[in-house]
Amino acid sequence: MKTFSFKKVALSAALLVGASSAFAGAWSVPGTYSGAPGDTVTGITVQFAGDGATVSTQTDIDFDLAVLDLANATLTAGNASTTCTMFDADTVRVVSFSFSPLVAGPETLCTIDIPILGGAALGPTTLTATGQLCAISGGGAAASCTATNGTVTVGAGGTAPTITYAPAPGATVNLPGGAGSIVATPSGGAGAATTTVSGCSIGNVVGPATFGSVAGVNLSFVGPTTTPQNINLTCAQGGTATTADLTCDESGTPRVWPLSCPASGPAGTPPALNYIPAPGSQVSFVGAPGTTINAVIAVNGTGGTGAGPDATARVSDCQVSPALSPPIFACQPSGGNVLDFTPGFDAGDITCSCEAPSTGQVSATLSCEETSPLSTGTPVVRTWNLACPGVPGSCGDLAFSPNPGLIQFAGGAANIGVSHSGGTVGNDTTFNGCSIGGANAANFSISNGPINFAFTGGSMGSNNIALACTNTTAAPVQAILSCTQVCDVNNTPRNWTLECPAGGGPPPVADAVPVPSSSDFSRILLAAMLVLIGMGAVTIRSRS
C-alpha cells in the first residue's frame, strides 16, 4: 500500500494554491531496453522535460515483480535536488524539489539498473509512469503534467556461436582457375543468439583481373548450430596476377583476407578423376546400430597439364535422394561444396555419414556432378548406392476391419478393428495420430480417442477404433479419418472415408410396452387346472 511522503504533501499543498493554463511538464521513460532472463538491464532513465516555470515535480514508476527484481535494483538520482527511491515493493518514486524552474531538457532525474528474474516470461513488460505532479513557480499547478510509460522486452538470450574460418582472416585466399572459397564453421553457441557474416566488399585491387561481387554474402549462424557455410569467390583472370582485399562484417567485427587471382595460363588438360569405391557401387557403412557411422569416397586425380579452368576437373552438387526426414545420410566434398582438381593437386574426398537405425536398414542414392574441364565441360552425374545398417529383422503386419476405404455408418456408429501379427522382437509397431478432416469433420468423432495403439514385434494383438456420427441433413455427409502406422523408419498413412447417412444418428430408445400381470385369482385357477390335468393322466394310466 502506498503512503504519502513529506515532499509529496508539500508539493500537493503547493498545487492547491492555483493552476496555470500556460505551462506543462512531461515525465517519460524513453529508450529501448531488453535482456534475457537472469540478465541485468542497465541504464533505464526516468526523464523530465520542464516548461520554464515548473520548479517541483514528482512521478511514480511501477514495476511487474513477476518479471523484474526491484528489490535488487540500483537507483541513482540525477542531481542533488532529486531523490530516486523505492516507495514500496513495486514502485520507484522520483521527486525533484527546487526553487528555480527545472530545465526544459528532457533531463535525466533517475537511472535504474534492474535484474530480470531467471524464470521471467518472454515478451514486453511495461514500466508504468503514474501519479505525476507539477508545481510552477509562484505557487499552483501546471495546466498539464504528463507521464509516458517505458518498456523492457525479455528475449530468449543465449550465446552467439564463434566462427572459425579456413583460411583464417589475414591469410591469403588463392583463387586458382578463377574460383575459391572461405569456409566459415560455427561452434559454442546456445539458445537463439545469432552470429552473422555479411556486408562483404572487395577493395585495393591491384592488377588486371576483376573479382566477382560479394555483396550477396549473408551468412547466419543460430545458437548451437555447427553446420559450416561458405563465402564463395570468383575472379576473371588477366595477363598478370592480381591482388585485392576482402572485408566482411561478423556481427560488428570486421574480418579481412588478402585475395590472389593468378594470371591466366596457357590452355591445359584436366586430370582424370578416380573414385574408390567406383561410381555405381555401394558405399559401405560399418558400425553399430543406433550410432553415427562415417564413410569416405576417395577421389584422386592423375595426369593433366597446364593451369586454369582448362586444366581443372570439378566435383560438386552432391545430393542424397530420397530426402529423408529426419535426415539419415549426409554427404559433401571435404572442406566445402566443391572439389577442384588440377595437375599435381589433390583437392580431397567426399565424406559421408549415416545415422544407423536401431532396426532394419535404410537405403538411398548419392549423386555428384563431375565437370571436366571446368571451362567448357558438361557436368556428368556420378552415383553411388548408400546402405545404412541396423539390426536384422522385420516389421509385423497390421490388418484392418474394415480395410481403408469407405465406411458407412449404421445407427450413428461404426468400428474399425486393428490387429497385429508377425514381425520380430525389437521391431515394434505403433498406430496413432488419428484425426478427422474435411468439410464435414464436425459431424464425426472418435469415441475412444486419442488413439495410441502399441504392438510388440513377434506377438499378436488387437484393438478397436470406436466412431460416432450425427447428421440432421437430408443427404449423407462424408469426412476423412487419417491415422499413422509406424515401424522403425517406415511411416505409413492409413485413411478411411467416413459416411454418415441422411438423418443418421444414434438409434432411438424404444418405448417400453407394459405387460399385464396375473391376479391372485388367476394364479389359483391356473394351479387348479394343472392339478386336474395331472389327476386325469394318472387315472388313464391306471386303467391301462
Is the pLDDT confidence value at 522 over 60? no
What percentage of the chain has pLDDT greater than the value 70? Answer: 84
Mean pLDDT across 108-117: 95
Flag whether 520 is in a domain: no
**23-82 confidence digits (pLDDT tens):** 678 999 998 788 888 889 999 999 999 888 888 999 999 999 999 999 999 999 999 999
Q: How confident is the model at residue 521 (pLDDT cuts 50, 70, 90)?
A: low
For position 505, what pLDDT does the model report?
53
13/145 same-domain check? yes
Question: Of 129, 155, 181, at which residue does a domain stop?
Answer: 155
Flag whether 352 is in a domain: yes
Flag whether 91 is in a domain: yes
**267-306 confidence digits (pLDDT tens):** 678 999 999 999 999 988 887 777 888 999 999 999 988 8
Cα–Cα nearest to 195, from 173, 219, 229: 219
For position 267, what pLDDT does the model report?
63
For position 475, what pLDDT does the model report?
93
Is the pLDDT confidence value at 18 over 50? no
380/285 same-domain check? yes
For position 388, what pLDDT does the model report?
82
C-alpha cell at 267: 590452355
Q: How confident is the model at residue 433 (pLDDT cuts 50, 70, 90)?
A: very high
* Residue bearing the bigger pLDDT, 117 or 35: 117
165/117 same-domain check? no
For residue 287, the domain's CATH number is: 2.60.40.10
Is the pLDDT confidence value at 3 over 70? no
The answer to whether 485 and 494 are in contact (CB under 8 A) is yes
Cβ atoms < 10 Å from Cβ of 132: 18
For position 20, what pLDDT does the model report?
42
The answer to whether 487 and 426 are in contact (CB under 8 A) is no
Is the pLDDT confidence value at 87 over 50? yes
Flag whether 303 is in a domain: yes
For position 23, what pLDDT does the model report?
61
Q: Which of 73-77, 213-217, 225-229, 238-242 has the lowest mean pLDDT?
A: 238-242
Q: How confident is the model at residue 118 (pLDDT cuts 50, 70, 90)?
A: confident
SS3 (DSSP) at 2? coil
Q: How far is CA 348 from CA 5, 299, 340, 342, 432, in A?
A: 78, 7, 9, 12, 46
Letter string b/e over residues 467-506, b meaning 16 or more CB atoms within 10 A of that residue's CB: bbbbbeeeebbbbebebebebbbeeeebebebbbbeebbe
For position 6, what pLDDT does the model report?
38
379/402 same-domain check? no
Cα–Cα distance measured from residue 57 to residue 27, given in angstroms and rounded to the nearest whole number? 9
Mean pLDDT across 226-255: 94
**128-182 confidence digits (pLDDT tens):** 999 999 998 777 888 889 999 999 988 766 788 999 999 999 999 999 989 999 9
**307-324 confidence digits (pLDDT tens):** 888 889 999 999 998 877
For position 4, what pLDDT does the model report?
43
292/311 same-domain check? yes
Domain of 41?
6-155
* Residue bearing the bigger pLDDT, 357 or 185: 185
Cα–Cα distance measured from residue 455 to residue 463, given in angstroms and rounded to the nearest whole number? 10
Q: How confident is the model at residue 347 (pLDDT cuts 50, 70, 90)?
A: confident
Task: Please work out, in degrees rounded to the nearest 5, the angle formed at the alpha carbon of residue 275 by the alpha carbons of 274 and 277.
Answer: 145
Q: How confident is the model at residue 337 (pLDDT cuts 50, 70, 90)?
A: confident
126/38 same-domain check? yes
Q: What is the mean pLDDT of the chain?
A: 85
420/370 same-domain check? no
Bridge-partner residues for 34, per DSSP?
A: 153
143/25 same-domain check? yes
355/483 same-domain check? no
Domain count, the chain: 4
**465-511 confidence digits (pLDDT tens):** 999 999 999 999 999 999 999 887 678 899 999 999 988 555 544 45
The answer to whether 333 and 291 are in contact (CB under 8 A) is no
The answer to whether 376 and 268 are in contact (CB under 8 A) is no
Q: How confident is the model at residue 513 (pLDDT cuts 50, 70, 90)?
A: very low
100/202 same-domain check? no
For residue 140, the domain's CATH number is: 2.60.40.680
340/201 same-domain check? no
Question: Of 94, 127, 155, at which residue does a domain stop?
Answer: 155
Q: How far is CA 369 from CA 26, 227, 332, 388, 478, in A?
A: 69, 22, 12, 23, 49
How far the first Cα of the chain sits from its last, in Å, is: 115
Flag whether 44 is in a domain: yes
**371-422 confidence digits (pLDDT tens):** 999 988 899 999 999 888 765 567 889 999 999 999 999 989 999 999 999 8
Q: What is the DSSP string of 77-91?
A: ESSTTEEEEEEETTE
Q: How confident is the model at residue 14 (pLDDT cuts 50, 70, 90)?
A: very low
363/407 same-domain check? no
Q: Are strands 490-500 and 406-408 parallel, antiparallel or unpaired?
A: parallel
Is the pLDDT confidence value at 2 over 60? no
SS3 (DSSP) at 503? coil
Flag whether 23 is in a domain: yes
Q: What is the DSSP string of 369-410?
A: EEESSTTTPPPEEEEEEEEE--B-----EEEEESPSSEEE-B
Question: Of 481, 500, 519, at which residue does a domain stop?
Answer: 500
